[in-house]
Amino acid sequence: MFRHTTIALAVLASSAAPMSAMAADSSDLQQIRQEIDQLRQGYEARIRELESRLQQAEKNADQARQTAVSTAEKVAASPVVAAPSAPAANGFNPDISLILSGQYANLSKDPEKWKMSNFIPGGDEIGPGKRGFNLGESELGFSASVDQLFRGQLTLSVTGDNSIEAEEGFVQSTSLPAGFQTTAGRFFSGIGYLNSQHSHTWDFVDAPLAYQAFLGGQFKQDGVQMKWVAPTSTFVELGADLGAGENFPGSTRNKNGAGATALFAHVGGDVGASHSWRAGAGWLRTAPRDRSYDAEDLAGNTVTNSFSGTSRLWLLDGVWKWAPNGNGERINLKLQGEYFRRHENGELAYDTASQNLTDSYRSAQSGWYLQSVFQFMPRWRVGARYDQLSPGRVDYASNEAYFVNTGYKPTRSTLMLDWSPSEFSRIRLQYAQDKAREGVRDDQIYLQYQMSLGAHGAHSF
């Protein structure tokens, strides 16, 4: 009896298990069908939304095409051509920059009597400038790409005496192969470190004495220039200028051909992450004819002398910069210096208006400066500069009685402090102890402002 009961229970249990599994499978299938239906409904709603947006976009495109066709038909039928949109018109305008500069000068000695003892005066752009308030020199610049081959630039200099001159005006190649670049027009020569930079980028109010004595402040060429930058990790640049040479130490020449030739080379690079440097050498040859200048004779009278011959100038320059990890926003240091040596050979005429005594002239003179500028906190810098000239050897031949070379070395020591509220403005205070005149100490105090308006490119290294 017990055996039959056990068998019956086993049969019932074995039949109940498949029925339970079938019931569970049916529930899962029903849930899956419901989820599929929900997904199908969601996708169908999304498709209907996208189709509606597509129809609206096609409708808007048709309306835009109809409007464009209608506008074109009206413009074609009208005798007046519609002006281009503002962006298209401005696309042909050059970049315009304006540098506003002015200063107040407190000079202890009369600037009209300033000179560099034992040196031939180097043109009009030398000396400490005027006393009191004056506008200084402002610059108005225009630059733009001409086409895929050239760009152009014009810089007008506006001085405090209401004179305007073309400081620079040139066209420059932009797509020559193998690192070459050519410039034609009026430009600053590539010799030296400061010479190729506009004065508003200088770290002091004025140019070093050596620039004033040997280049008349800054040497510009009317001619052509060729540069080549080597495809190396170390910066290597070679260049040459060929021009009229009408600026000091040259002079105006009524001749065909070039009156001045310049050669220059620059190398530079980085040392680690915090240091960078550049060194250079330059050579300038001019051939002045009747380069006249006013001077005092031994009796204290003003006479006009003139020089004709050849002038050769050699230059060495170097700059070293430091900034922590290459980031100079907070603190940085710059050390800079240049050395000049000039030889002149030819004829010097004494008192051309009266005696006109002419004989041979030879000179070998030199000069240098060294300066350092330290930014000790954001926007504030302090700097120091020392200048010195050496009169060297000068041979006046038979005119020696009318000229005196005492061997005195003109010097100047300068301190400056400037504050730049932004990259577009700077206010500078400068003091100089000027001993360019033998036996005379001139204490010079300047308060200068410089403001940059409009487009302005990055400054050179």
Reduced to 3 states (helix: H, G, I; strand: E, B; else coil), residue 27 is helix
Kindly state whether residue 63 falls inside one of the protein's structural domains.
Answer: no
To the nearest whole percent, how much of the chain has pLDDT over 90? 68
Phi then psi dihedrals of residue 11, to 5 deg: -65, -40
Query: For residue 362, what is the domain's CATH number?
Result: 2.40.160.10
C-alpha R_g of the chain: 39
Among candidates 210, 117, 130, 219, which has minimal Cα distance to 167?
219
| Other beta carbons within 10 Å of 302 | 9
CA distance 324 to 333: 10
Range of the domain at 414: 117-130+172-454
Rounded to an integer, what distance in angstroms lies between the CA atom of residue 90 and that of residue 173? 23
Task: Tell whether 72 is covered by a domain.
Answer: no
Q: What is the full DSSP assignment across 110-166?
A: -GGG---TTS----SS-SS--SEEE---EEEEEEEE-SSSEEEEEEEEE-TTS-EEE
pLDDT of residue 274: 95
- Looking at residue 70, its pLDDT comes to 53
Give which of 368, 317, 314, 369 is closest to 344, Cα–Cα. 314
Rounded Cα–Cα distance for residues 344 and 233 (Å): 39
Q: Note whether residue 403 is domain-resident.
A: yes
The domain tally of the chain equals 1
Cβ atoms of residues 51 and 57 within 8 Å: no
Asked if residue 34 belongs to a domain, the reply is no
Q: Give every CB contact of residue 457 below 8 A, 6+ residues apart in sequence.
A: 143
- Mean pLDDT is lowest, of 85-99, 125-139, 379-393, 416-430, for 85-99
Q: Give Cα separations from 459 to 199, 201, 202, 456 (angstroms).
A: 12, 7, 10, 9
346: in domain: yes
Q: What is the pLDDT of residue 1?
A: 44
Q: Check: CB of residue 277 under 8 Å from CB of residue 271.
A: yes
Burial of 70 (0-12, 13-18, 19+ CB in 10 A): exposed
pLDDT of residue 183: 98
Place of tokens 């430009």: 187
**In the structure encoding, which two tokens stand for residue 461, read together?**
């290294």
Is 80 a domain residue?
no
pLDDT cut 70: percent of the chain above it: 86
Q: Of 1 and 137, which is predicted with more confidence?
A: 137
292 domain residue, yes or no: yes
112 within a domain of the structure (yes/no): no
- Rounded Cα distance between 218 and 284, Å, is 13
Please determine, for residue 86, whether its predicted confidence score (pLDDT) is greater than 80.
Answer: no
Q: Where does the pLDDT of residue 30 fall: very low under 50, low under 70, confident under 90, or very high at 90 and above?
A: confident
C-alpha distances in angstroms, 78 versus 34, 71, 81, 88?
66, 10, 7, 21
- pLDDT surpassing 50 at residue 7: no
Half-sphere exposure of 78 (CA within 13 A, CB side): 10
Check pLDDT > 80 for residue 429: yes
Q: What is the 3-state secondary structure (H, E, C) of 31-61?
A: HHHHHHHHHHHHHHHHHHHHHHHHHHHHHHH
CA torsion angle 203 208 211 217 (round to 10): 70
- For residue 352, the cross-strand partners are none
User: Tell me, what's the pLDDT at 211?
Assistant: 97
